[in-house]
Chain A
Amino acid sequence: MNHSLINWFKFASPVSFYPLAGRLIPYFTAAAVALLAAGLWIGLLVAPTDAQQGEGYRIIFVHVPVSWMSMFIYCVMAFWAALGLSFNTRLSGMMASALAPTGALFAFLSLWTGALWGKPMWGAWWVWDARLTSQLILFFLYLGFIALQAAIDDPRRADKAGAILALVGVINVPIIYFSVQWWNTLHQGASVSMTKAPSMAHTMLLGMLLMALAFWAYTIAVALMRVRCIILERELTSEWVKKNAME
């Protein structure tokens, strides 16, 4: 047993995680605000106008990061779900349910900003294309997860049932991600790739990455706030809540 391992297990307990989350929230909030301001400044004022799409392309600075986050949050949720199922840790289930509403919000925003982008560029708010459809399924999966957890009264059973559903649904994430390669779709291919040189101006890429980091920090801050609420709700009768948290 090395030292760091013990520390990790220490924070797996809601009692010690609650104050840690409280201390972390201000940093992530500040990071989110700063990165959002920088990203919007670069995206709306600095980045050059696109040769083909004009000014309308600027929605990319919200659309792409939001879509990334909606997929990424689902993976993180599934990770916590798997951890909770295999190690039977209480906090994992709470983390998964704390992330779900933010993920659903991002999935919705991804569809909505996509519609706003699609109308001027494709001439249609919506097309039945593989990526759009699978993103819609992702949104439904989030809603199903939230509805299932809300319908079960016993929190432990809600965690486990939600975890199973999250793990079943995680198959959808690679399908969304690779849909533009597997099928000939109207949706354009990946804007950013790890293997190729970026196909866009560097300022655009920078703006998009800053926005992605901003949403990431926002997600962590909001998830931590939500998980603190969930911990309080579930541990309301325990001694440490009465002693420390309610002050």
Chain B
Amino acid sequence: MNRLLSPFRLSVQRDLLLAARHKTEIITALFFFVIVVNLLPLGIGPDPDLLRKIAPGALWIGALLATLLGLQRLFASDHADGTLEQMALSPQSFTLLVAGKIMAHWLVAGLPVVLVAPVLGMQFDLSGRSLFILTLSLLLGTPILSLIGAVGAALTLGVRGGGALLSLLILPLYIPALIFGAGAVEADLAGIGPDGHLSLLAALLVVSAFFAPWVATVALRVALE
């Protein structure tokens, strides 16, 4: 078991180490998230009732955009220096290596967003319970963003106009996660409880965790041909 998963662990470790050497990238994405979310009250106005209503959506859209920011580099630098080809040729499972990279991307781009979210939620005057549900929905949802995003990053690897194209491909696929994630808080406020939305979000996570690394691997093999 341990040996089976070792490529996954090694891949996560390697990408985390690389991320630790370029700390500014993590911090940039995180501050991008903070700034985007903070711009909304400035644009819409500081009415607390309105802010409480838009908070889940605002944080979720901020998380979506922040994830998108780092996705293009997910495979690009490894592709540029040939590491990706070596990974594809290695006797280890390429899918596990790719899954490790996706996991590392979530740890670097998604997890900080989840950790900062409660603080930003307080700026929007959310209650403690809503904050908890929002953070939980982001915890379940941000891995989905990294997983689906990896498929898009693999498809657009080395393609002209990759960044804009990546957003065009990926953002429509993010819509279900956005609806159920941001909807969880609203459902709770409406009195029907967040369980249904959170369960659907968890189901999306399980399905994408199962399929996305595999689809991304197939797409990478197409790109490397």
Interface residues of A (CB under 8 A from B): 133, 137, 140-141, 143-144, 147-148, 151-153, 156-157, 160-161, 164-165, 168-169, 175
A165 with B222: CB separation less than 8 A: no
B61-82: CB near A (< 8 Å → 1, else 0) gives: 0000000000000000000000
Query: Is B215 within 8 A of A137, CB to CB?
Result: no
| CB-based contact B219/A151 at 8 Å | no
Residues of B within 8 A of A137 (CB): 172, 175
Complex CA distance for A115 and B169, rounded to whole angstroms: 25
Which 8 residue pairs spanning A and B have beta carbons closest together? A140-B172, A160-B222, A144-B169, A151-B159, A137-B172, A161-B155, A151-B160, A164-B219
**Chain A: which residue is nearest B176 at the CB level?**
A175
Q: Which residue of B lies closest to A142 (CB)?
A: B172
B147 to A: closest C-beta gap in Å: 11
B145 to chain A, nearest CB (A): 15
Q: Give chain B's interface secondary structure class.
A: helix
CB distance from B148 to the nearest CB of A (A): 8
C-alpha spacing A125/B152, complex, angstroms: 32
Assembled-state Cα–Cα distance A123/B149 (Å): 38
Residue in B156, B171, B172 with the greatest tally of chain A CB atoms within 10 Å: B172
> Is there a chain A Cβ closer than 8 Å to B116's Cβ?
no
Q: How many residues of B contact A (CB 8 A)?
A: 22
Q: Which of B160, B162, B218, B222 has the most CB of A within 10 A?
A: B222
Give CA–CA (A153, B219) in the complex, Å: 16
> Do the beta carbons of A164 and B172 come within 8 Å of each other?
no
The answer to the question of B203 belonging to the interface, with a C-beta cut-off of 8 Å to chain A, is no
Contact of A151 among B156, B171, B172, B179 (CB under 8 A): B156
B223 within 8 A of A: yes
Pick the residue among B168, B173, B215 that contacts A147 (CB under 8 A).
B168
Q: Kindly state the separation between the CA atoms of A161 and B219 in the bound complex, as whole angstroms.
A: 6
User: Which of B162, B169, B175 is the most central at the interface, judged by chain A CB atoms within 10 Å of its CB?
Assistant: B169
Q: Is the CB of A144 within 8 A of B168?
A: yes
- A-B contacts, 19 of them at CB < 8 A, read A133-B179, A137-B172, A140-B171, A144-B168, A147-B168, A151-B156, A151-B162, A151-B165, A153-B160, A156-B225, A157-B222, A157-B223, A157-B225, A161-B219, A164-B151, A164-B155, A164-B215, A168-B215, A175-B176
